[in-house]
């Protein structure tokens, strides 16, 4: 009898929470009206003719956006009209992260953002993200709070578990400066309800590039070189292109370009463990692929081969090139 009462109480509580967290029509309408006002201001942050216009737009957008989020149950509103604002949500839907960027000049680019937590009563719980990248000496080995954030535009979030705790891995892009861009692998955890970025979650055994422990992984490379950094769900691996200096100057990160090889990171016992070479299949000698001409030795069409060419599906396609990040595009051609 006690078990029945217990399960009934759990069911009723879950039902109550589900109803309480449903965005009502008046709430949706109120947020939609605010969103309509936010769209041109968000665009102005990027398209402003000078830094004064961009600063003013950024300040106005932040104020109005927070007001929109203060509407009850705003967590469940998609804000999908804000195309210049990136948004990622983990599989457990426990929070959202909004990020955007402000170009001050060619050498100074600020990322702004916020973490919106899902609350049981639909009220707003928000952590602002304050970009302090230019004030932190060692970006790759420093764990930080939301008030000393390593700025990035997040385009992918991966949820993992270890030892009874959840870990959220963020993939982000940083339009760094005139010479280089960066992509970042960032680990987000929550300690006493507060967000923590970075930590001892990477293992690069026998790697000359990372002889010391790192708190986050940062790829810096030549402007617009656009190496891939993505997550393959089927393999359970973060894939990224190996970089080399095109001028033979490894200390100059702005000379780095992808060389076609792929490295990886696989979640194992609470850490992302480095895989030096993900795709290492070598074709045995004598088994190289050969052309299959449709014409025979006399120049006539071989109907059987023609049928084979038109009916067989394409094989051995590059799995990585078919993977794209479509979450919240920031540009017409996102650099992810």
What mean pLDDT do residues 294-316 have? 48
Tokens at 279, concatenated? 């795709």
Asked if residues 202 and 271 have their Cβ atoms less than 8 Å apart, the reply is yes
| Cβ neighbours of residue 302 closer than 8 Å, sequence gap 6 or more | 293, 294, 295, 296
pLDDT in tens, 130-167: 999 999 989 999 999 999 999 999 999 999 999 999 99
Q: Enter the tokens of residue 250.
A: 């490894």
**CB contact set of 67 (below 8 Å; sequence gap of 6+):** 34
Helix orientation angle between 25-47 and 51-69, rounded to the nearest 10 degrees = 170
Do 31 and 71 form a contact (C-beta atoms < 8 A)? yes
Averaged pLDDT score across all residues of the chain: 83
Decide if 241 contacts 221 (C-beta within 8 A): no
Q: Worst-scoring range by mean pLDDT, 99-108, 256-265, 290-299?
A: 290-299
How many Å apart are CA 181 and CA 49, to the nearest integer? 23
Coarse DSSP helix, strand, coil percentages of the chain, rounded to the nearest 5 percent: 25, 35, 40
Residue 97: in which H helix or E strand, if any? strand 95-105
Which residues does residue 190 pair with via DSSP β-bridges, in sequence order? 195
pLDDT value at residue 64: 98
């Amino acid at each position: 009898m006690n078990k029945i009462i217990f399960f009934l109480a759990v069911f009723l509580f879950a039902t109550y929470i589900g109803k309480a967290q449903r965005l009502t029509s008046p709430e949706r309408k109120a947020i939609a009206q605010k969103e309509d006002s936010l769209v041109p201001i968000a665009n102005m942050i990027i398209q402003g003719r000078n830094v004064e216009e961009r600063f003013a737009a950024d300040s106005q957008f932040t104020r109005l956006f927070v007001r929109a989020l203060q509407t009850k149950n705003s967590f469940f509103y998609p804000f999908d009209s804000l195309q210049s604002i990136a948004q990622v949500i983990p599989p457990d839907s426990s929070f959202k992260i909004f990020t955007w960027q402000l170009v001050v000049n060619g050498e100074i680019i600020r990322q702004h953002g916020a973490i919106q937590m899902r609350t049981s009563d639909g009220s707003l719980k928000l952590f602002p993200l304050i970009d302090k990248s230019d004030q932190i000496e060692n970006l790759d080995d420093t764990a930080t709070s939301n008030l000393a954030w390593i700025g990035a535009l997040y385009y992918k979030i991966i949820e993992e578990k270890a030892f009874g705790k959840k870990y959220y891995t963020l993939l982000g892009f940083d339009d760094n400066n005139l010479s280089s861009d960066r992509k970042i692998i960032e680990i987000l955890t929550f300690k006493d309800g507060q967000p923590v970025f970075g930590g001892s979650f990477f293992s690069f055994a026998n790697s000359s590039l990372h002889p010391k422990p790192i708190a986050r992984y940062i790829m810096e490379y030549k402007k617009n070189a656009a190496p891939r950094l993505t997550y393959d769900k089927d393999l359970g691996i973060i894939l990224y292109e190996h970089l080399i200096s095109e001028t033979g100057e490894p200390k100059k990160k702005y000379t780095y370009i992808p060389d076609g090889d792929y490295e990886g990171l696989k979640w194992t016992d609470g850490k992302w463990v480095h895989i030096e070479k993900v795709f290492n299949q070598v074709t045995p000698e004598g088994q190289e692929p050969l052309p299959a001409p449709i014409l025979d030795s006399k120049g006539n069409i071989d109907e059987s081969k023609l049928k084979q060419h038109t009916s067989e599906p394409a094989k051995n396609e590059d799995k990585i090139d078919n993977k794209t990040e479509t979450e919240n595009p920031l540009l017409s051609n996102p650099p992810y």
